[in-house]
Amino acid sequence: MVPRLIIQTVLWIAAMAAILFIPAGTVRWPGAWIFLAEMGVGGLVIGLWLAKHDPSLLAERLSPPLQQRQAAWDKLLMPAILVLWCAWMGFMALDTMRYRLSRVPVWLQYIGALGPLASLYLGYLVFRENTYAAPVVKVQKERGQRVISSGPYRYVRHPMYAGAILFFLGTPLLLGSWYGLAATPILIILLAVRVVIEEKTLGEELEGYGEYRNRVRYRLIPGIW
């Protein structure tokens, strides 16, 4: 399992590097290197922790983005999210480095670097509480999936997605792209659409989810939504 984790992490970081540096036309981009280091090291550390404490969840997290038992609607939405995410990253490379349209202050880029880190930490908190946190929408009946209401799930029903919002807000600042930040609401709206449809699936297929939904009012942001 660990060799597979390392291989997939290296391939994923290499793909992200290509998406960033090829449109940028240069590798002299400190923000991109910081971003890749955060995602690579952070993802590997969390993966190694899962290998020790919850190998079944690690196996789920290493699974492909399209799966046989995945909800049909998610098989359409997931590729759309991935394509849009890749386009967003490449767009920020063009904006920041090739055409130099944006000028985010260096101090604000450092603050932006906290976004991906906070997202990774929130992901770790989710994995620590929820062994069923698969990357695709499916109810894992073979693993006896049940409703999780501890840890961050006490405050919002989808803490992993809440962490994604921090990622979407922090990454454009770290990479120095105001236009990337302006495009962030599109990704957040698409994420919110997935949350709403996912909740319908969970309400229909996961016993006790309706009661949990009534008890924890907010989906992503406490006090707001």
For 178-200, the pLDDT digits (tens) are 999 999 999 999 999 999 999 99
- Fold of the domain spanning 2-132+145-215: Four Helix Bundle (Hemerythrin (Met), subunit A) (1.20.120)
92 pLDDT more than 90: yes
Q: What is the pTM of this model?
A: 0.93
CA distances from 161 to 99, 104, 187 (A): 32, 26, 11
User: DSSP readout, 64-117?
Assistant: -SS-TTS-HHHHHHHHHHHHHHHHHHHHHHIIIIIS------HHHHHHHTHHHH
Higher pLDDT, 113 or 204: 113
Average pLDDT of the chain is 94
Structure confidence by residue, pLDDT tens digits, 112-169: 999 999 999 999 999 999 999 988 888 888 888 999 999 999 999 999 999 999 999 9
Higher pLDDT, 76 or 122: 122
Judged by DSSP in three states, 157 sits in coil
pLDDT band at 105 (very low <50, low <70, confident <90, very high): very high
Query: For the chain, what are the domain ranges?
Result: 2-132+145-215
